[in-house]
């Protein structure tokens, strides 16, 4: 098994233990803000739900990495004697600079202000800017650089 899957399986076990301790620890609180469970006392639902969902998320990611890493080649992170130079090479293509992520951020910002102030026109304007910028970001390398 590879290192990423082991990491997420370990996080799953840790969060599972923390979830169980949290549930049993909060069942007997004398806090009036909690939901009353007639059988076992009180349970704090927000924290228990968040921890349970975190446990399930790390389990999901661990299983995903386990299945994808079984089908992949051995990486330098799996060697005990690996050097830093063993991981050298091309990692992928990354854009040097582009204005479109900033424009997308501004569209999301406008949508957020529109939601906060219930200004529907601002939500629509932000959505249009976000869709336009997302399209331009995905198509910026279709045209050759001399046409920019």
In this structure, the answer to whether residues 75 and 103 fall within a common structural domain is: no
**Domain total in the chain:** 2
Question: CA-to-CA distance for 18 and 47, rounded, in angstroms?
Answer: 11
Does residue 41 form part of some domain? yes
Same domain membership, residue 109 and residue 63: no
75 pLDDT band, cuts 50/70/90, is: confident
Domain, as residue range, for 134? 99-139
DSSP 14-37: HHHHHHHHHHHHHTT---TTSEEE
pLDDT single digits (tens) 1-53: 578 899 999 999 999 999 999 988 887 766 555 555 555 557 778 899 999 99
Q: Is residue 12 part of a domain?
A: yes
Is 39 a member of any domain?
Answer: yes
In this predicted structure, the answer to whether residue 91 has a pLDDT above a threshold of 60 is yes
pLDDT digits (tens, 9 = 90+) for 101-148: 999 999 999 999 999 999 999 999 999 999 999 999 888 888 776 666
State both tokens at 128.
Answer: 């249009």
CA distances from 12 to 62, 103, 143 (A): 8, 38, 46
């Amino acid at each position: 098994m590879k290192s990423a899957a082991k990491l997420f399986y370990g996080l799953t076990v840790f969060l599972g233990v923390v979830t169980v301790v949290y549930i049993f620890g909060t069942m007997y609180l004398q806090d009036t803000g909690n939901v009353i469970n007639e059988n076992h006392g009180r349970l704090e639902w927000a924290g228990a739900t968040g921890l349970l969902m975190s446990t399930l998320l790390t389990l999901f990611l661990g299983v995903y990495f386990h299945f994808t890493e079984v089908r992949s080649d051995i990486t330098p992170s799996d060697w005990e004697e690996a050097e830093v130079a063993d991981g050298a090479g091309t990692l992928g293509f990354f854009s040097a600079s582009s204005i479109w992520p900033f424009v997308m951020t501004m569209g999301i910002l406008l949508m957020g202000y529109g939601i906060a102030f219930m200004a529907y026109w601002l939500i629509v304007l932000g959505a249009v800017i976000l869709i336009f910028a997302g399209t331009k970001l995905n198509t910026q390398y279709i045209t050759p650089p001399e046409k920019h």
